[in-house]
Amino acid sequence: MADIKSEAINTKRILAVAGALFILAVSGCNGTRYHYDVRHDFSISFVNSDKVIEEIRDAFSARSPKITICYESGSDNMDDIYPMIDELVMFAMSETDDPREGDYLYHQYGGYRTEYSYEKNGDRFVYTIDIFPEYFTTPEQEKLVDEKVSDIVTALDIDGKSEYERISAVYNYVYENVKYDKVHKKNPYYHLKSTAYGALVNGCACCQGYSVLVYRLLREVGINSRIITGNAVFGNETEYHAWNIVELAGAYYNVDVTWDSHRGTHDHFLKSDEDFSETHIRDEKYSTADFCEKYPMSQKNYINQGDIL
């Protein structure tokens, strides 16, 4: 198990335990919530990889500006450090049972920079890897989001309500309270437009901000959701876009609050892919057989609380 230490304020230090490839597949029952099938073809692996991934996730959630991973190895791992870190971060961004993780984390940061150094200790290599994420929000802003989300969920009064009623309540709240951010739409340096904070506190956001807020609220009220990205097609124009899929009665439906709110319609609420495929073209990773098996889409639109057509 990893020995996790705090190196400095807002800096996360993780001690990873390196091991030979043949002992990589250890049990995920080392006090972590999830087990991950990390790759077996790197020159280095961590026997406590589940714990390392969990600590990376926690550091991202806390908006730590620097995440440090330290380990000792019997071989030169320099060629594999960057792809290994990419994999660990990828798993750290995967879906969990916490609405503040998964897509909520993944869609509110702008990548990361990785640096590493090592020292020789006899025939051993002592590595230090530093990850520097670029976040779209601060810890203080996320604290305010948490408070507002709690107030909204209370106000929605979803106790005893059906899945459809909970989904409708979230959709209606975002539809009525968030405006499209035309001012900052084309400003690549203004990241709040892509966040739940921008949507909740500033009352305006672009498609990613809408989708992140919908995802967070739906997860808070017990509804499974994912954020989908791809190309939106309207007329002869194409634009990169984000929307949601939501689970209802065991199947998933498309929801695009951005388009509905901006246009003053309800034409993109609980729709099948048949009604979305011409105007919403998914990125390839959301169209794979594995993804579609995990998140099966309904073949028909959802019309009302009791009928699927």
pLDDT at residue number 63? 97
Of 76, 100, 135, at which residue does a domain stop?
Answer: 135
Residue 249 CB contacts under 8 Å (≥ 6 apart), including other chains: 163, 308
Give residue-wise pLDDT tens across range 219-263: 999 999 999 999 999 888 999 999 999 999 999 999 999 999 999
Query: What's 192's domain CATH number?
Result: 3.10.620
Is residue 186 included in any domain, yes or no?
yes
Judge if 72 and 145 occupy the same domain. no
Supply 40's token pair.
């077996």
Strand (E) or helix (H) holding 153: helix 139-156
Is residue 172 included in any domain, yes or no?
yes
Judge if 129 and 153 occupy the same domain. no
Residue 243 CB contacts under 8 Å (≥ 6 apart), including other chains: 207, 211, 227, 228, 254, 255, 256, 257, 258, 259, 268, 280
Judge if 167 and 89 occupy the same domain. no
Judge if 175 and 222 occupy the same domain. yes
Judge if 45 and 124 occupy the same domain. yes
What is this structure's pTM? 0.89
Q: What is the secondary structure of 25-82 as a DSSP string?
A: ---STTT-S------S-SS-EETTHHHHHHHHHHHHHTT-SEEEEEEEESS--HHHHH
Alpha-carbon Rg of the chain, whole angstroms?
21
Judge if 129 and 144 occupy the same domain. no
Of 110, 135, 160, at which residue does a domain stop?
Answer: 135
Judge if 281 and 144 occupy the same domain. yes
Is residue 305 included in any domain, yes or no?
no
Identify which of 244, 168, 188 has the alpha carbon closest to the alpha carbon of residue 213: 244
In the structure, what pLDDT confidence band is assigned to residue 206 with cuts at 50, 70 and 90?
Answer: very high
Mean pLDDT of 258-277: 94
Segments forming the whole domain that contains residue 63: 3-135
Of 105, 135, 165, at which residue does a domain stop?
Answer: 135
Is the model more confident about 74 or about 212?
Answer: 212
Judge if 130 and 145 occupy the same domain. no
Judge if 152 and 279 occupy the same domain. yes
Is the model more confident about 305 or about 303?
Answer: 303
Identify which of 290, 292, 258, 248 has the alpha carbon closest to the alpha carbon of residue 273: 292
Judge if 265 and 285 occupy the same domain. yes
In the structure, what pLDDT confidence band is assigned to residue 286 with cuts at 50, 70 and 90?
Answer: very high
Do 240 and 229 touch, CB atoms closer than 8 A?
A: yes
In the structure, what pLDDT confidence band is assigned to residue 27 with cuts at 50, 70 and 90?
Answer: very low
21-28: which pairs have CB atoms within 8 A and are 24 or more residues apart? 21/45, 23/47, 24/49
Do 53 and 22 touch, CB atoms closer than 8 A?
A: no
In the structure, what pLDDT confidence band is assigned to residue 11 with cuts at 50, 70 and 90?
Answer: low
Judge if 143 and 273 occupy the same domain. yes
The SS3 of residue 154 is helix
